[in-house]
Chains A and B, each alone.
Chain A
């Protein structure tokens, strides 16, 4: 009986994860800006989630739990790749596939480039807040930092983006080589 219950729970979790796949992929993409890598990260995160399904005690926290696994996979990847991360190289693959107007595409590219120039800890927090729409406490749990740090990172990230995106006099073509900040 217990085995059957476990099987049903595993099947249900599988469906829940499949429903969240696109959302996870988008967040992963906002961190790494690579479609293939985002796919790999999501795949790995889902595999780990299924493997450790027993650790999820409250299904209401599934989103937070999944984001946490995903960010851990991402951090593992960064550790393997080394500490210097090239963040400004935007290949053709990163261009949006949908047929937006030229202007829309320009905006998307510009915002992605600006987000790409943010130090990784700021990037992770701002995308979790602005794109995933998570609360500060959820972000704190996912990234494993105090809420105060979430707020300060969010403040710095948005200030940085505001300067890059809303200041029209800023040189759009400036390139930066960033180092990951621990």
Chain B
């Protein structure tokens, strides 16, 4: 068959796979021999490809846009939830591994101290608690100190040895500053009568000095040579129980 013997209808059927096997084979053979026929087929194929290409990426539909916005929202929520879960898991793992009583997680000072006070009579091993204060919020500090006092009294009554390290950083260092903290007397009496140590983060001190431009003075019992980031992991490794205010 020559090129003229193939109608455009036939060629359309060929490129659309609508011919039977015998007809397709015949046309294949003809294509090998006939350049003009090849060109006709190529042109039809080119048109078909162009139409396909032109509508592959139409403007996004409202539905797709909504979907995308929702996906972004879900993604953001997912990331946020994952972060929270991840941080929780890491901290939980950390405290689980290093605490004496497998008490994992971070609680508010109030609930945490209540929990720990309840455990005081269970045995007579020494309790080690690190109290991390990173705020100078009066309400939070008052609650923490009240609970610490209760805790110390409870342990004293049961003759259970208790050691508390108060580690402050950020604005929490103001709790231990002379001329700034309203709790100095209370803290001093706490330190004198009990096994309580005071720490102020060296990095936070440097920042406060830079910001205020004056020398920062602490209670004489305050240790200031390390950062909170160094102090807290050290204690966690030794099995201290960690509470954050």
Contacts and interface: CB of A to CB of B under 8 A. Distances in A.
B47 to A, nearest CB: 5
Interface majority SS (helix, strand, loop, mixed), chain B: helix
Contacts of A168: none
Nearest to A163: B47
A161 to B, nearest CB: 5
A135 to B, nearest CB: 7
B58 A151 contact: no
Contacts of A100: 57
A108 B51 CA distance: 9
Given A21-B63, A42-B63, 8 more contacts: A39-B62, A42-B61, A100-B57, A108-B54, A111-B54, A115-B51, A126-B51, A136-B16
Interface string B38-50: 0000011011101
Question: Size band of the B side of the interface?
Answer: 20 to 34
Contacts of A111: 50-51, 53-54
Contacts of A130: 47-48, 51-52
Interface stretch (B7-15, B24-32, B79-87): B7-15
Nearest to B61: A39
Interface in B48-72: 48, 50-64
Interface in B197-211: none
A162 B60 contact: no
Interface majority SS (helix, strand, loop, mixed), chain A: helix
Interface of A: 21-22, 25-27, 29-30, 35-36, 38-39, 42-43, 93-98, 100, 107-108, 111-112, 115, 126-127, 129-131, 135-136, 151-152, 154-155, 158-159, 161-162, 165-166
B57 A98 contact: yes
Contacts of A36: 62
B58 A25 contact: yes
A165 B16 CA distance: 20
Given A96-B57, A155-B12, A39 B51 contact: no
B46 A166 contact: yes
Contacts of B60: 35, 97
B50 A107 contact: yes
Contacts of B61: 25, 35, 38-39, 42
A3 B76 CA distance: 39
Contacts of A97: 57, 59-60
B158 interface: no
A64 to B, nearest CB: 16
